């Protein structure tokens, strides 16, 4: 059987399962569950995979809502990753119901390729993308070490085969001062809120002199108790993001110095804690991205390799992409004005366009599995790119020589 025929067969099979997949997606959407609480979604997804002949390992990496489903034997081990967590108050406003359904749909459809050419297809359930960076925990616990390839498709507002995602780490800050009557004895007090405000001012100054792709942002979570008491305690939460880990480390030190300076100036005591979870930047495998784009285009969609207009954020898929050749593609389900993490995007995730996008992405993922399993050359090109010392990226914004103006 030709590769083309196998792909056609897969497309037809997915058309035949259209209703089943849409129902699964709608069911997850109407039962939104937060990170690490995705019990129903996990049951439905693993149930679907089991019914379709996959062997299941539930609760992998000591995470009750993580799972690994596999079909086939031996290498290559191609994994499609599923996310299924929702957002507080907004439900599935990131459309993870689509990601999950694409993963199980493409996994099941890929069985045809495995039966024909060998190898293994895996669907890995990765919980808590939004709130806790589930894949980072899973990566630390070895979930992806043995794999050859990992792929995921996220809904968005453009069809793009790659993702630009920044390295990122969260910082918790507390200042401890001394309470006093703000009018009767201000000279007795040490103002922990002023320390926090000075830190913001210092960070605002720093922001003028950082690379344009880096980001520093924060909030105050405790600013004192009453206007007539000198605040004895203040607290805040900050996020530092950068294009690569080296620059992130450099920036983290500079940001921390802003707090140390404010502590010195005010006499407040500083306590800080960097989050253990550090998001790595996305390393896009362009060979893999091109394959996925070609398969999407064969379905009549127009896909760009990179979206230079794309907003910067961070994803735990970045950490997976540092370990094995990976893609994190986007499929358009809404107009460009629609913001991800908005009620409008939540509606798009169950719209006709959302379902069509989901089905196309599912087909393209399964077709890409065919390419990888049927052709050892393609697979080795993907790996060669991953192993090349050039840390490829389609995004060259940082390395462009600065214009003199």
Query: What is the separation, in whole angstroms, between the first and last Cα of the chain?
Result: 60
Binding site for Zn ion (CB under 5 A): 94
Non-local (6+) Cβ contacts of 364 within 8 A are 153, 292, 295, 296, 299
Environment class of 405 (CB within 10 Å of its CB; exposed 0-12, middle 13-18, buried 19+): exposed
Closest to Zn ion by CB, 94 vs 193, is 94
Candidates 46, 37, 34; CA nearest to 82 is 46
Cα separation, 253 vs 79, in Å, equals 37
Q: Please give the full DSSP string across 78-115, using - where no structure is assigned.
A: EEEEE----BTTTBSTT-HHHHHHHHHHHHHHTHHHHH
Closest residue by beta carbon to Zn ion: 94
Question: Minimum distance from CB of 87 to Zn ion (Å)?
Answer: 7
Q: Hey, is 24 helix, strand or coil?
A: helix
Question: Minimum distance from CB of 316 to Zn ion (Å)?
Answer: 10
Closest to Zn ion by CB, 94 vs 106, is 94
| Whole-Å CA distances, 101 to 91, 233, 317, 362 | 16, 46, 17, 8
Closest to Zn ion by CB, 95 vs 224, is 95
Question: Minimum distance from CB of 167 to Zn ion (Å)?
Answer: 17
Question: Minimum distance from CB of 101 to Zn ion (Å)?
Answer: 14
Question: Minimum distance from CB of 282 to Zn ion (Å)?
Answer: 13
Provide the 8-state DSSP code for 244.
S
| Whole-Å CA distances, 221 to 97, 143, 191, 228, 233 | 32, 35, 16, 19, 11
Closest to Zn ion by CB, 264 vs 339, is 339
Determine how β-strand 167-176 pairs with β-strand 233-242.
antiparallel
Question: Minimum distance from CB of 129 to Zn ion (Å)?
Answer: 6
Closest to Zn ion by CB, 69 vs 349, is 349
Environment class of 74 (CB within 10 Å of its CB; exposed 0-12, middle 13-18, buried 19+): exposed
Closest to Zn ion by CB, 94 vs 366, is 94
Closest to Zn ion by CB, 3 vs 26, is 26
Closest to Zn ion by CB, 66 vs 77, is 66
Question: Minimum distance from CB of 341 to Zn ion (Å)?
Answer: 6
Enumerate the H helices of 94-188 as residue ranges: 96-109, 111-117, 129-132, 134-140
Q: Can you state the angle between helices 96-109 and 3-16, rounded to 10 degrees?
A: 130
CA angle 54, 61, 349 (to 5 degrees): 65
Closest to Zn ion by CB, 107 vs 134, is 134
Closest to Zn ion by CB, 283 vs 328, is 328
Question: Minimum distance from CB of 378 to Zn ion (Å)?
Answer: 28
Question: Minimum distance from CB of 286 to Zn ion (Å)?
Answer: 22
Tokens representing residue 302 in the block:
């127009």
- Chain centroid to Cα 11, Å, comes to 27
232: left (phi over 0), alpha (psi -120 to 50) or beta: alpha
Name the one residue in this structure whose structure tokens are 């459809």: 109
Closest to Zn ion by CB, 82 vs 94, is 94
| C-beta separation of 129 from 165 below 8 A | no
Question: Minimum distance from CB of 201 to Zn ion (Å)?
Answer: 31
Question: Minimum distance from CB of 312 to Zn ion (Å)?
Answer: 13
């Amino acid at each position: 059987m030709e590769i083309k025929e196998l792909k056609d067969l897969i497309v037809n099979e997915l058309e035949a399962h259209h209703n089943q997949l849409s129902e699964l997606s709608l069911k997850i959407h109407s039962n939104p569950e937060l990170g690490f609480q995705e019990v129903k979604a996990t049951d439905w997804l693993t149930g679907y995979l089991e019914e379709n002949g996959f062997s299941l390992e539930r609760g992998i990496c000591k995470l009750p809502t993580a799972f690994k489903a596999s079909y086939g034997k031996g290498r290559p081990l191609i994994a499609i990753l599923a996310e299924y967590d929702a957002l507080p108050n907004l439900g599935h406003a990131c459309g993870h119901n689509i990601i999950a359904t694409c993963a199980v749909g493409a996994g099941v459809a890929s069985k045809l390729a495995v039966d024909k050419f060998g190898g293994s297809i895996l669907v890995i359930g990765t919980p808590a993308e939004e709130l806790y960076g589930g894949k980072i925990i899973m990566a630390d616990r070895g979930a992806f070490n043995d794999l050859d390839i990992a792929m995921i498709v996220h809904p968005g507002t453009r069809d793009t085969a790659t993702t630009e995602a920044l390295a990122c780490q969260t910082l918790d800050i507390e200042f401890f001062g001394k309470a006093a009557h703000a009018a009767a004895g201000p000279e007795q007090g040490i103002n922990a809120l002023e320390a926090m405000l000075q830190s913001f001012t210092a960070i605002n100054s720093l922001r003028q002199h950082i690379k344009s792709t880096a980001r520093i942002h924060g909030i105050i979570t405790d600013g004192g108790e009453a206007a007539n008491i000198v605040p004895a305690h203040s607290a805040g939460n900050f996020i530092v993001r950068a294009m690569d880990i080296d620059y992130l480390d450099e920036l983290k030190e500079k940001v921390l110095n802003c707090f140390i300076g404010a502590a010195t100036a005010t006499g407040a005591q500083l306590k800080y804690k960097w989050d253990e979870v550090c998001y790595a930047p996305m390393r896009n495998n362009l060979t893999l991205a091109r394959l996925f784009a070609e398969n999407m285009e064969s379905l009549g969609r127009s896909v760009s390799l990179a979206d230079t207009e794309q907003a910067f954020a961070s994803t735990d898929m970045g950490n997976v992409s540092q370990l094995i050749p990976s893609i994190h593609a986007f499929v358009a389900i809404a107009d460009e004005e629609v913001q991800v993490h908005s009620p409008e995007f939540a509606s798009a995730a169950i719209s006709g366009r959302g379902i069509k996008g989901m089905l196309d992405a599912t087909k393209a993922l399964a077709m890409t599995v065919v390419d990888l399993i049927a052709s050892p050359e393609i697979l080795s090109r993907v790996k060669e790119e991953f192993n090349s010392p050039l840390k490829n990226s389609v995004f060259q914004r940082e390395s462009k020589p600065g214009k003199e103006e």
